[in-house]
Structure 1
Amino acid sequence: MSQQPIYRVNPDRNTPWNDLPLLPIDEELYKNVEIYEQLGRAKEAMGLLAGRSVAIPNQALLINSITLQEAKDSSAIENVFTTTDDLYQAFSDSRFDDNVSAPTKEVLRYREAIWEGHKYLQEHGAFDLDYFVNLYQEIKEARDAIRPPFATTYIRQGGSGPNAGKRVYTPPKGKEVLREKLENLTEFLNDDSIPPHEPLLKMAIAHFQFEAIHPFRDGNGRVGRILNIHYLTKAGLLELPILYLSRYVIDHKQEYYDTLAGVSQRGDWEAWILYMLRAVDSTARLTYRKVNDILEAKEAILEAVEREQNFQRPGQLIDAIFTQPFTKVSHLTDAGLYAENTARSYLNTLDEMGVLEKREIKGRHYYRNRELEQILTF
């Protein structure tokens, strides 16, 4: 019987883990039947989602709606909260002003980071240090980059129990150390010949490694969750970064932190990888259902609108109101669909039909798609 390989853990939670092992890890640390059974289920779920999303003619429907909710929930994991109404209103305005709260701005920056990172990888073709720095700077609206040598970061126990506030982990320290770890991580992500060869397994390992490196002063959790989605799109499992992964982490938040700590403290890669595979399986199916629900709602509303026979280009009109939860007259005029009076008349008619709900917020008029909002929220 072969001996289980040893993974060098962090012996002292109060000391920077500068000996964090480089990647790859020994494949024997995660080779077992349970992991590969769960891997099969997760791959099946990803295939369902990928197949459904490719068939959607209006990709903006997913680009805006799913990623906006992912941004909201991923930020909530880090205790950055915004109300749904505030978020959708600010997003519909496409600008930040004095009326937009700091948490709402931070959530919207997260969404922008998803798309900026996606475009970066399309243009550059590979992960590199600038990819990570750009994500961090976009999310935090910061100019600094990797933590300076004098900056020691501690991860503390959350919650309100007896251990709340205690240090549970101290990431590596020193700019050159952090740079070495990140360069090793980018090589691991970019080189398909480095095992594991299953992208979902590689994503799980890479996510732990990034969180263990913890290269920035703040926002590491959000950067790491964006990395998950971007790696899966680059690996070809998704065409667009629309996996609603943060929903599972919110619902199983303590397990997320416990299994991360299990790797650094005990070398328990099995529990961590199983957690991530279950997260992918669950959220791919959840996202798939949401996509179907959105499309079904869109088709039902289009049929009702076409029966009215008073709308020009009804298909484009319904596409527009399903692109984001709050629509404004300017969205239709800026897209070149209608003149201002026609756009306002159509939106008011949709309000009268019960398709939209007209609302005045701080002197501005918005038309809320309640059906879309309900699908996204639950």
Structure 2
Amino acid sequence: MSLHADKATPYQPDTLPLEKLDYRLLFALVGEANAELARYDGLLQGIPNPAVMLSPLTTQEAVLSSKIEGTQATVDEVLEQEAGLEKEGEKYKDIQEISNYRSALYQASEHLKSYPIRLSFILDLHRILLSSVRGQGKTPGEFRKDQNWIGRAGCTMEQASFVPPSPLQLQDHLQAWQEYLDFDDSDFLLQVAVAHAQFELLHPFKDGNGRIGRLLIPLFLFQKKALSQPMFYLSEYLEANRDEYYQRLSNISKEGDWNGWIAFFLKAITVQAKQNSARVKAIMGLYDDMKQRIHEITRSQYSVYLLDALFSKPIFKTSDLASQLERDFGISKRTVPALLRQLKEAGVLLELTPGSGRKPAVLCFAELLNLAEGKEVF
């Protein structure tokens, strides 16, 4: 096992699969994490249209994974921006990064229905992730060709807290990492813990390593058939425990402490699976309640289509929603304003900005956003 004694020396990653793990320490944690993940996936399998119903959770994951890297935007702000309430300056750039993350997640989910995770696929995800003003100088869609290091801003390589592997050896390490993804290790949760950490330690990009690494967690679990949909989001726990997250990764390179990292990761899976399950149950409950309520309010044959549209885009321009309903379900645009007015008067929808002249109103389905962000709904 190669310990990272000299800070200025590039890290030599351990060979995968790992030979020495403390299975006595990890056995109970693996069992509990597997049980909670299976309960969560059971809920997922019961959702008729998970991509629609859990769309706000996907946005929340993009927000939190990006927040770990320093962005400051909220789910509401991302959706407001997309509904035409333009933000400016750094906030706009933050939202662009979050939107890119979500786009990468959606495209990855589609890709993995037919193909396994490959390095070329990860380069495509990186290109999507960094397709913005901030990412242009960070060689989007390319593995690094230079030596990089991690430390305080402006520090030299000798002052760095971590120096990833040499770019001369990076491609070989990445190839070995890809082969490990195809290997069936003793348990898929142990394996995803190892794969995530190894990717972060290889640090193959100039920027975006953390976000790509976290994005790969649900994709790997989906590929291994541990999930029926690639929709298990871990960033809430990792963001709440950011210091320990980084310290546990650091301890692998400094002390060879894989057991401590894996124990932390398995606890993250267990806690997050419980929280995700509770949130999915709440969202499914809201969907069922709203299916009945919207029909009672509108008495419309289109009430279910309207509900699906609200779940897929909880903040929207009235004109955009009308176009979406006409495009997807053939509902006349003239029908929609009256339906929305009824829902607004009943308190289901809130008006963020009123319409004036040709400018459409922007409305919000607040109850769903509150559930997605983990807020209590009163």
| 2:143 aligned partner | 146
Distance 1:373 1:204, change over 3 A: same
Give the 3-state SS of the residue equivalent to 2:312 in structure 1: coil
1:286 aligns with one of 275, 280, 289: 275
2:362 corresponds to:
366
TM-score (norm 1): 0.88
| SS of residue matched to 2:331 | coil
Partners of 1:130 and 1:11 in 2: how far apart? 33
Provide the C-alpha distance between the structure 1 equivalents of 2:252 and 2:129, rounded to a whole number of angstroms: 27
Matched, 1:221 2:217: no
Tell me the secondary structure at the aligned position of residue 352 of structure 2.
strand
> Which of 125, 130, 134 is the aligned partner of 2:124?
134
Tell whether the 8 Å contact from 2:54 to 2:280 is kept in structure 1 after alignment: no
Matched position secondary structure for 1:88: helix
- Which of residues 351, 355, 360 is equivalent to 2:344? 351
Q: Which runs of 4+ in 1 moved over 3 A?
A: 90-93, 95-100, 361-364
The 2-side partners of 1:273 and 1:133 are apart by 26
Change over 3 Å in CA distance of 1:336–1:110 after alignment to 2: same
Alpha carbons of structure 1 residues 30 and 67: separation in structure 2 relative to 1, 3 Å? farther
Q: Please state whether the residue corresponding to 1:358 is helix, strand or coil.
A: strand
Q: Which residue of 2 aligns with 1:263?
A: 252
Which of the numbers 47, 58, 77 marks the counterpart of 2:68? 77
Number of equivalent positions: 355
Distance 1:91 1:287, change over 3 A: farther
Does 2:328 match 1:332? no
- Give the one of 232, 235, 247 matched to 1:246: 235
Tell me the distance in 1 between the aligned counterparts of 2:310 and 2:53.
13
Per-residue deviation, residues 4-63 of structure 1 (Å, max 9, x unmatched)? xxx22112222221x22221111x32322x311111111111111111111111223245
Q: CA deviation at 1:166?
A: 5.7
Listed as ranges, the gaps of 5+ residues in structure 2 are 132-138
Alignment-derived partner of residue 173 in structure 1: 166
Q: Which moved more, 1:105-114 or 1:327-336?
A: 327-336
TM-score by length of 2: 0.88
Match of 2:195 in 1: 206
Confirm or deny: 8 A CA contact 1:91 1:108 kept in the other structure.
Answer: no
Q: CA deviation at 1:117?
A: 2.0
Task: Supply the distance in 1 between the matched residues of 2:339 and 2:61 (Cα, whole angstroms).
Answer: 30
Corresponding position: 1:55 with 2:52 = no
Change (3 A) 1:313 1:222: same
Per-residue CA deviation, residues 301-326 of structure 1 (Å, 9 max, x unaligned), is 22222223532222222222122321
Alignment of 1:322 with 2:311, yes or no, is: yes
Mapped to 2, the partners of 1:137 and 1:231 lie a distance apart of 19
Quick one: which of 188, 196, 213 aligns to 2:180? 188
Which digits, 9 at most, give the CA deviation of each residue in 1:324-361, with x for residues without a partner? 32134333233235211211221121111100112228
Return the offset for 1:97: 10
Note the residue ranges of structure 1 that are not aligned, 5 or more in a row: 1-6, 159-164
> Are the counterparts in 2 of residues 106 and 139 from structure 1 also a CA contact under 8 Å?
yes
